[in-house]
């Protein structure tokens, strides 16, 4: 059954008629054209469909759209600066050559945005654990961990002053 | 699109109970990290869902004036791990649920679902057994409280009726104050893994930290349901922490109380070995955390 929901998508207030059986992944891709949200395993294991819901990284393939009513959604499309600049997280992925085929990257970037958003510093081991909800079949993860580590440290140093 | 017959977004617990009572073929969905997977696989396809996802009163952890910790069943795993009441009083539960799935699943999945699914492999289950948690259920006939140690009736089965909503878990002061413990999970991977075996131990040491005043042992996947091993507990109650024989006594007795089976994940024999070894390790670590000097 179609139902009307109101939510904020990438900073924009959005009113949308959705089927109450649909998951947020389908809504974002098919109704709003946000194709950075990738359809991977569809069972919450690969992390390719990760977006931030009220600041928390969630697998949208196992999140019903009805639950997004009243909430704020952030996808990779929403990271863009006012003049089209890349987000520091995206820049770090480029600088560390963390991308090969790119399918897992939007999801990983959103998890990295969540990690950066905590405003804390983490050890490499902690960061490895924090990105375990993503499968990457190309890179072997090393450069991805490098990129996440770099942007987390740089952001922390920028906000806390480097010692 | 999920194969859902009718979908109800309940705004209150009463609404959820009414919707569940109105359709015997309906089930509760909370975090969705298990229900939607089952639905996609075809197992629960075509069922009606009653969502309790948007009921604020079911979320969060708080401390009652009498010291009882009240855990809202719709609290996500990551919120439990980061909750100040949990961190201060039962950090072990926060650690246990931090081993569920991966980070995104822990942002969605809830402790209520973890327990009410009736899975023996649930990562919170062994710890909840050792905390003597009380499950509060609300149905058309009113509210009832069931100790989690009497909650399970078989694999995936609990005493909860189809039209009952779990509204809280209660952990009494005497079940956490002065206790320390740890949860050990064995899995082939460090993440996105269902426990091959889970072992939870909690200890209460005497004031001088030399005697085990009380001890509790709980397992996941050691039987068709999560279990407590009370004989193993009794076998070392009152013993000195310096007594090197307590570990084998504890683990050997536990073996008489478990009933693991072979599955594609692991054989019965391997699980028995894990039951024995993890009991010893978790006991040692719990004594250490409680400030006792565990014998090597």
ipTM: 0.96
Residue range B4-60, pLDDT digits in tens: 999 999 999 999 999 999 999 999 999 999 999 999 999 999 999 999 999 999 999
Q: Rounded to whole angstroms, how far apart are CA atoms B222 and B196?
A: 9
**Domains identified in chain B, total number:** 3
Whether A50 has its CB under 8 Å from any CB of chain B: the answer is yes
Nearest CA in chain B to A26: B1
Distance from CA of B269 to the nearest CA of A (A): 29
Whether A63 has its CB under 8 Å from any CB of chain B: the answer is yes
Mean pLDDT of chain B: 97
Question: In a mutagenesis test of the B interface, which of A127, A132, A136, A148 is the best target, namely the one with the most B β-carbons within 10 Å?
Answer: A132
Provide the 3-class DSSP secondary structure of residue B45: coil
**Residue A19 phi, psi (nearest 5):** -80, 135
Nearest CA in chain A to B38: A43
For residue A52, give the CATH number of its domain: 3.10.20.30
Residues B20 and B63 both lie in one domain: no
Residues A103 and A137 both lie in one domain: yes
Looking at the predicted structure, is the pLDDT value of residue B140 above 90? yes
B103–A58: do the CB atoms touch at under 8 Å?
no
Residues A104 and A66 both lie in one domain: no
For residue A135, give the CATH number of its domain: 1.10.150.120
Percent of chain B with pLDDT over 70: 99
Q: What is the largest CA-CA distance in chain B?
A: 61
pLDDT range class, residue A163, cuts 50, 70, 90: low
Which contiguous run of DSSP H or E holds residue B27? strand B26-29
Write down which residue in B156, B174, B192 finishes a domain.
Answer: B174
Q: Which parts of B49-116 fold into alpha helices (H)? A: 77-82, 84-89, 91-97, 103-108, 111-116
Q: Which parts of chain B fold into alpha helices (H)? A: 13-22, 35-40, 77-82, 84-89, 91-97, 103-108, 111-116, 125-130, 230-236, 246-255, 268-289
Residues B193 and B283 both lie in one domain: yes
Residues B272 and B205 both lie in one domain: yes
Q: What is the pLDDT of residue B293?
A: 85
Distance from CA of B248 to the nearest CA of A (A): 33
Among residues 79-108 of chain A, which lie with CB inside 8 Å of chain B?
none
Q: What is the mean pLDDT of residues A79-94?
A: 96
A105-117 and A88-95 are packed helices; what angle lies between their axes, rounded to 10 degrees? Answer: 120
Q: Rounded to whole angstroms, how far apart are CA atoms B215 and B211?
A: 11
Residues B191 and B119 both lie in one domain: no
A23–B9: do the CB atoms touch at under 8 Å?
no
Q: Which two tokens stand for residue A88?
A: 């520091």
Residues A72 and A92 both lie in one domain: no
Residues A72 and A101 both lie in one domain: no
Write down which residue in A51, A79, A107 finishes a domain.
Answer: A79
Is there a domain that residue B81 lies in?
yes
Cβ-Cβ contacts under 8 Å between A and B: the total is 83
Residue range A20-51, pLDDT digits in tens: 999 999 999 999 999 999 999 999 999 999 99
List the domain range (segments joined by +) for residue A129. Answer: 88-160
For residue B28, give the CATH number of its domain: 3.30.43
Distance from CA of A77 to the nearest CA of B (A): 19
For residue B108, give the CATH number of its domain: 3.30.465.10
Is there a domain that residue B238 lies in?
yes
Q: What is the pLDDT of residue B187?
A: 95
For residue B249, give the CATH number of its domain: 3.30.390.50
Whether A62 has its CB under 8 Å from any CB of chain B: the answer is yes
**Domains identified in chain A, total number:** 2
Residues B137 and B82 both lie in one domain: yes
Q: What is the pTM of this model?
A: 0.96
Write down which residue in A55, A79, A103 finishes a domain.
Answer: A79
Whether A74 has its CB under 8 Å from any CB of chain B: the answer is no
Q: Of A21, A42, A69, which has the smallest distance from its Cβ to B4's Cβ?
A: A21
Residues B170 and B184 both lie in one domain: no
Is there a domain that residue B20 lies in?
yes
A-chain residues near B4 (CB < 8 A): 20-21
Q: What is the pLDDT of residue A161?
A: 78
B103–A133: do the CB atoms touch at under 8 Å?
yes
Q: What is the mean pLDDT of residues A64-81?
A: 98
A67–B54: do the CB atoms touch at under 8 Å?
yes
Q: What is the mean pLDDT of residues B247-264?
A: 97
Nearest CA in chain B to A107: B104
Write down which residue in A33, A52, A79 finishes a domain.
Answer: A79
Among residues 82-141 of chain B, which lie with CB inside 8 Å of chain A?
101-105, 107-108
List the domain range (segments joined by +) for residue B25. Answer: 7-51
Q: What is the mean pLDDT of residues A2-21?
A: 98
Residues A99 and A156 both lie in one domain: yes
Residues B125 and B91 both lie in one domain: yes
Residue range B169-214, pLDDT digits in tens: 999 999 999 999 999 999 999 999 999 999 999 999 999 999 999 9
Query: If we measure between CA atoms, which residue out of B33, B50, B47 comes closest to residue B3?
Result: B47
Distance from CA of A132 to the nearest CA of B (A): 6
Residues A106 and A65 both lie in one domain: no
Whether A60 has its CB under 8 Å from any CB of chain B: the answer is no
CB of B181 within 8 A of CB of B281?
no
Residues A21 and A68 both lie in one domain: yes
Which contiguous run of DSSP H or E holds residue A127? helix A124-130
Is there a domain that residue B294 lies in?
no
Q: What is the pLDDT of residue A1?
A: 85
Nearest CA in chain A to B4: A21
Is there a domain that residue B1 lies in?
no
Q: Of B1, B9, B29, which has the smallest distance from its Cβ to A22's Cβ?
A: B1
Strand segments (E) across chain A: 2-9, 12-19, 50-53, 56-59, 72-74
Residue range A103-162, pLDDT digits in tens: 999 999 999 999 999 999 999 999 999 999 999 999 999 999 999 999 999 999 999 876
pLDDT range class, residue B295, cuts 50, 70, 90: low
Query: If we measure between CA atoms, which residue out of B62, B161, B165, B80 comes closest to residue B127?
Result: B80
């Amino acid at each position: 059954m179609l139902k009307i929901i109101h939510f904020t998508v990438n900073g924009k207030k959005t009113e949308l008629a959705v089927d109450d059986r649909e998951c947020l992944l389908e809504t974002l891709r098919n109704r709003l054209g946000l194709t950075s949200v990738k359809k991977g395993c569809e069972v919450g294991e690969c992390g390719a469909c990760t977006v931030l819901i009220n600041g928390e990284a969630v697998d949208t393939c196992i999140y019903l759209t009805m639950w997004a009513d009243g909430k704020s959604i952030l996808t990779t499309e929403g990271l863009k600066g006012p003049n089209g600049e890349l987000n520091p997280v995206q820049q770090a992925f480029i600088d560390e050559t963390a991308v090969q085929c790119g399918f897992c990257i939007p999801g990983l970037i959103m998890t990295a945005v969540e990690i950066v958003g905590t405003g804390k510093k983490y050890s490499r081991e902690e960061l490895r654990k924090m990105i375990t909800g993503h499968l990457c079949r190309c890179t072997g993860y090393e450069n991805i961990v490098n990129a996440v580590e770099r942007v987390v440290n740089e952001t922390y140093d920028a906000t806390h002053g480097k010692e | 699109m999920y194969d859902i017959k009718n979908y109800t977004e309940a705004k209150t617990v009463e609404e959820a109970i009414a919707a569940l009572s109105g359709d015997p073929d309906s089930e509760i969905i909370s975090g969705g990290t298990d229900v939607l997977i089952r639905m996609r696989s075809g197992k629960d396809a075509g069922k009606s869902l009653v969502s309790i996802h948007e009921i604020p009163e079911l979320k969060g952890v708080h401390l009652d004036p009498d010291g009882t910790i009240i855990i809202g069943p719709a609290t996500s795993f990551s919120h439990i791990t980061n909750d100040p009441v949990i961190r201060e009083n039962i950090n072990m539960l926060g650690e246990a649920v931090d081993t569920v799935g991966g980070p995104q699943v822990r942002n969605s999945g809830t402790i209520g679902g973890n327990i009410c699914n009736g899975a023996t492999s649930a990562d919170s289950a062994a710890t909840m057994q050792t905390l003597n948690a009380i499950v509060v259920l609300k149905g058309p006939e009113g509210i009832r409280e069931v100790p989690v140690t009497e909650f399970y009736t078989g694999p995936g089965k609990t005493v909860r009726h189809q039209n009952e909503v779990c509204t809280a878990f209660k952990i009494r002061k005497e079940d956490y104050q002065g206790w320390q413990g740890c949860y050990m999970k064995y899995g082939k991977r460090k993440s996105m893994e269902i426990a091959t075996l889970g072992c939870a131990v909690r200890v209460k040491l005497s004031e001088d930290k030399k005697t085990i005043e009380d001890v509790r042992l709980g397992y996941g996947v050691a039987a068709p349901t999560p279990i407590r091993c009370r004989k193993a507990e009794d076998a070392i109650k009152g013993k000195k922490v310096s007594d090197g024989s307590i570990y084998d006594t504890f683990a050997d007795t536990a073996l008489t109380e478990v009933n693991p089976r072979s599955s594609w994940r692991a054989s019965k024999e391997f699980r028995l070995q894990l039951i024995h070894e993890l009991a010893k390790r978790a006991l040692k670590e719990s004594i250490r955390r409680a400030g006792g000097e565990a014998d090597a």
